[in-house]
Amino acid sequence: MSQRVNTIEFDIDEKGCFCNGLLCFENGVIKKYVNSQLTGEFSLENIDELCKIINVGCGSLEMKKKNCDVDENIVLCNFSMSCIKEVSEFNKMVNSYIETGETHNVYFENGRCPHCGRPYFQNSKECLFCTKKGNLLKKTFKMFRSYFMAILKITILLILSTVMTIIKPIIQGNLIDKYFTRTDAVSFDVASKGLVNSVLILVGLYLLGMALGTVSSILIAKVGCSFSHDLRCRLFDKVQRMSISSVAKHTNGELIHRISNDTENVMNFFVSEASRLLERFIIFLIVFIVLFVTSYKLTILVVLPIPIAIFLFYKSSDKMHKYNAQLWRSGSKEASVLNDIIRGIRLVKTFGNEEKEIAKYSKVSGSFCKMSIINGRFWALFVEPVSFLIAIGEILVLIIGGKMVIDGELSLGSFVSFNLYLAHLYSPLRWMSGLPRRFSNATTSLVKIFDILDEEIDVENSEKSITEINSGDIVFENVSFGYKSYEPVLKNINVTMQEGKMYGLVGHSGAGKSTMINLIIRLFDPNEGKISVGGINLTDYDQRSFRNKIGVVYQDTYLFSGTIYDNIKYSSENASMEEIINSAKIANAHDFIMRLPDGYNTVIGENGYRLSGGERQRLAIARAVLKDPQILILDEATSALDPETEELIQQALGRLVKGRTTVAIAHRLSTLRHADKLIVIENGEIAEMGTHVDLLRERGIYYDLVMAQKQLTRREK
C-alpha cells in the first residue's frame, strides 16, 4: 500500500520480531498494518492520550484509556530506535487531535517516498529513484528554451568539425587503392601529384576542422557561463523569497552546495554533454552507414555487442543513483561543516579547539573522499568491462576482415578505411558509455535544484498587495501559531498595540516572545486567527513595502563585510551622509566611529569582527534609526551595552519611539519599566498585561521575574 502523509512506520511486531509495520491515522481512527496486512483498528473516542514508552534499545506506543490504570494501556506498536523520530511526531499529532479535534499532517524532517518507501535525504521532497527523469528534463528544457538555438549552433559546428575528420579515411583508403597497391603501371609523376593533392586536402580538412572546433569551444564557454549564471540567479532568487521556516530546514552549506555545485553539474551536462550527445549520435549514424556500405558483414560484427552493453547500463541505473545520492550527501555535509567552522573561527580559537575542528573537518572530508573512491571504483569495474565488450567487435573485424582481404573479397584500402572508421564508431560509443554516470550526476543535481524551485512559498503576497500603512496600530485576534501545527508556540493571543506607544514583551525563555515579533514582521503567518496593522490584515500588505516601514534591532546583531557607512546605509539606500551621521549620533555610535582610523569608511570585516559587541549593537540601532520606521521592534537591543552606554541609548530610544509603535523584548526588565504596557507571556499564552507598577502590585509572574533579577543583581554585586 502507498504511504500517506499521516502514516508512520514501525519495525517490531507483537512477538518481538522485526517486521514492516505501518500506523495510519484518519478521521479519529488509527489503523495498524503488519507486512501489508490490516491487523487492527483503534478508535480514539475513549482515549485520553497516546504515550511513548522508551525501553532499552526499543520502545512502544500505547493508548491510555480515560479513567484507567497504566496496566490497561493498549499497545499500538513496538519499535526500534531507528523509528523513534517518526513515532514521536505521530504521538504529538494524535494527542493534538485528541485535545483539539483538529487533524494535522505528521511533520517529518525528511520523510519517505510513498512509492518505494526509501527515506528522502537532505530535506528533499523528491525520491532520486522514483523521480521520472523525463519530467526533470522537460522542466529543464522549458526553463531554458532560450538557449536551444545557441546549443543547436554549437551542435552543428561540432558535427561539421567531425565531418572534416570523417572524410579523411575515405581519402586515405582511396590513396592506398589508387596509388599504393595497383598492379598496373602508374607513372611517378601521376602518383606524386595524387599524393600531394591528397595531402593538401587532408591538411585543409584538418585546418577547417580545427577552426570549427575552436569556434564551437568558444560558444560552449559563452553559453555555459550564461546558462549557469541564469540558473544560479533563479535558485538564489527563490531562496530569498522563501520563508524563514523553509530556509531553516536547510543548512547554509547545503544551500551553497545547491546554488554553486549543483548548477555547475547541470550546466556541464546540458550545455557541453547535450550538444556533444547529438553530435556523437549523428556521427555514429553517418559512420555506421559508411561501414555498412563498405561491408555489411563486418558491420554486423561491430554492432553485435552494443545491445548487451545498453542492457547492462539499464540494469545498473539504480546503483548509479544510489552512489550519486550518497556522494551528493557527503559533499553537502562537507560544505556545511566547513561553512560552520569558518563562520565560527573566533569561537574555535577562543576555546582552543583548532585540533578538534581539524579532526572534525578531516572526518567529513574523508567520508566525501571515501564515497568518491567507491563511486570511482564502481565505474572503473563497470565501464571498463563494458568498453571491452564493445571492443570485441574490433577484434572480430581484424580476424574476419583480414581473411576477406586475403581472399580478395575486400580491397586493402577499403579494409584500412573500415578500420579507421571503426575508431570513429567506437569513440562515440566509449563516450556514451560514460554518459549514464554524467546523466545520473546531473539528474541528482536537478532533483535538488527543483526541490528548491518547486517549493511552495508559504508566506506570499496577496492580490491586493497594499503598499502604504495607515497607522501603526497592531492587533492580534485569536492568533495561534506553531512551527508544527500540532505543537503550538502561541495560543489564542488577543492584544491591541496602539500607535505611538511602547509595549514590552516579558516572559521566560521559550515562552513565545520572539515568535510574536516574527509574526509582526510576517516572517511567518499564523496557523489560526489574524494580525492587523492599521486596520488591514497583515497578509494584504506587500511584504517588501510593509517591511520597509519596520525597523528591527535583533539580539544577535549581524553586520555585512564592508564599511561602517555601507552597514548603516543598508536600511535606506537613498540616505544622505548627513542622515547617516545623525542616525549614528542618536544611537550613540558617532563618537566611537570617529575614533577609528578611517571613520565611516572603516572596513569592519565579516560580521564586524573588528568591533566590540556593544559597538556592533549600536551600529545595528543606527541602521534601524536611519530607516525612520513607523513600527520599531527591539529584540534585546541593549543587551550588549555597558550600564553607562545603555542609559544613553535608552535616552536616544526614548526620543526615537515617539509617534511610533514600539515592541521591545528585554530580559533585563529594568529597561522596560517606562513601557506604556507590558505583556507577560507564559507557555504561549498572555498571562498578565499592564504597566510596570500595576504588574508589581499584582504580585504575579512579572513580580516574580523582577524579584528574581534583583536577587541575582545583589549576588553579582
DSSP per-residue string spanning 608-659: GTTS-HHHHHHHHHHHHHHT--SEEEEESTTTTS-HHHHHHHHHHHHHHTTT
Give the chain's length.
717
**pLDDT above 70 for 121:** no
CA distance 49 to 92: 10
Q: What is the pTM of this model?
A: 0.69
CA distance 117 to 664: 47
pLDDT tens, residue by residue, 319-375: 766 777 777 777 777 777 877 777 777 667 766 778 888 888 888 888 888 888 887
Name residue 43's beta-bridge partners.
29
Backbone phi, psi, residue 627, to 5°: -70, -20
More confident call, 515 vs 715: 515
- DSSP helix/strand/coil, 226: helix
**pLDDT above 70 for 218:** yes
Instruction: Classify the C-alpha dihedral 487-493-499-505 as positive or negative.
Output: negative
Residue 601 C-alpha cell reads as 569608511
CA distance 708 to 687: 18
- Residue 108: CB atoms within 10 A of its CB come to 15
**pLDDT above 50 for 3:** no
By DSSP bridging, strand 502-506 and strand 677-682 are: parallel
Poorest-pLDDT segment among 138-142, 285-289, 636-640: 636-640
CA distance 509 to 504: 15
The overall average pLDDT reported for the chain is 79
| 445 touches 231 (CB < 8 A) | no
Residue 672 C-alpha cell reads as 522596560
Residue 432 C-alpha cell reads as 556514451
> Smallest Cα–Cα separation from 626: which of 673, 589, 572?
572
**pLDDT above 70 for 390:** no
Q: Which domains does the chain have, with CATH numbers?
A: 7-100 (2.30.29), 133-453 (1.20.1560.10), 459-549+631-650+660-717 (3.40.50.300), 557-628 (3.40.50.300)
Residue 178 C-alpha cell reads as 589508387
More confident call, 197 vs 62: 62
By DSSP bridging, strand 631-635 and strand 550-553 are: parallel
Helix axes 435-453, 317-343, angle to 10 degrees: 50
Give whole-number Cα distances, 35 to 3, 22, 370, 640, in Å: 13, 8, 36, 58
CA 242 to chain centre: 11
